[in-house]
Amino acid sequence: MSPLQEGPVGPFPEGADPDEYDRLRRRVMWKMPTGLFVIGSRAGDRRNLMTANLVVQVSHDPKLVAVSVEKDAVTNALIKEGGVFVVNVIDREDRAIVRKFTKPVEHDGEQSLNGFAVHDGRTGAPILDQALAYIECEVRNTVELGSHTLFLGEVVDAAFQKPEETEVLRMEDTRMNYGG
Ligand SMILES: Cc1cc2nc3c(=O)[nH]c(=O)nc-3n(C[C@H](O)[C@H](O)[C@H](O)COP(=O)(O)O)c2cc1C
């Protein structure tokens, strides 16, 4: 496996200054609207929650949701081993929560991660009690992309935990960026 490239990633348009183009391309790509979710994963007794925006439905039949996860993330190892993940859809009012899951969680028992109440879904992966809704998936396909692994999961359970009309959190509701 080759180490990840340092500095701007090509290809570059002819004549472009790599650093300048890199900064511009990043700002353009940050404009792509996305949601903002907390991914639950589980392998054996190990559970984790991770903030992620690279999450999208990719097929109607079968019902597939794709999640792109950094190679070195704890979540990556847990999804590979456990073969499942949960997309926790977050209430817009709970936007502060996403800052709590940008590092591997502290385990404070089965019912709480980083002080947030969780319960196991059908797949065994952790669902945040305060999530607006959750989508549980079993991994059907895994694609190694480079910096990230794309997990394609079939939806095996989904439900609301709050009223359906509750406003959902999106990336644009925060001052955060990722990727680009
Ligand atoms: C706004 C935001 C969005 C993020 N989106 C993703 C993502 O889609 N995929 C990913 O692998 N990491 C994403 N991250 C980074 C992870 O949350 C972070 O690297 C985390 O430490 C890795 O999780 P883990 O090691 O606890 O599994 C995002 C971070 C932020 C702040």
What is the structure's pLDDT at 131?
Answer: 98
Residues 6 or more apart from 14 whose CB is under 8 A from it?
A: none
Domain 34-173: give its CATH code.
2.30.110.10
Q: Could you say which residues of the chain have pLDDT below 50? A: 1-2
Percentage of the chain beyond pLDDT 90 is 93
Q: Which atom of ligand 1 is nearest to the CA of 49?
A: 26
Domain boundaries, the chain: 34-173
Q: Which atom of ligand 1 is nearest to the CA of 176?
A: 1
Nearest to 94 by CA among 128, 137, 130: 130
Residues with CB under 6 A from ligand 1: 48, 50-54, 68-70, 73-75, 102-104, 176, 178
What is the structure's pLDDT at 4?
Answer: 57
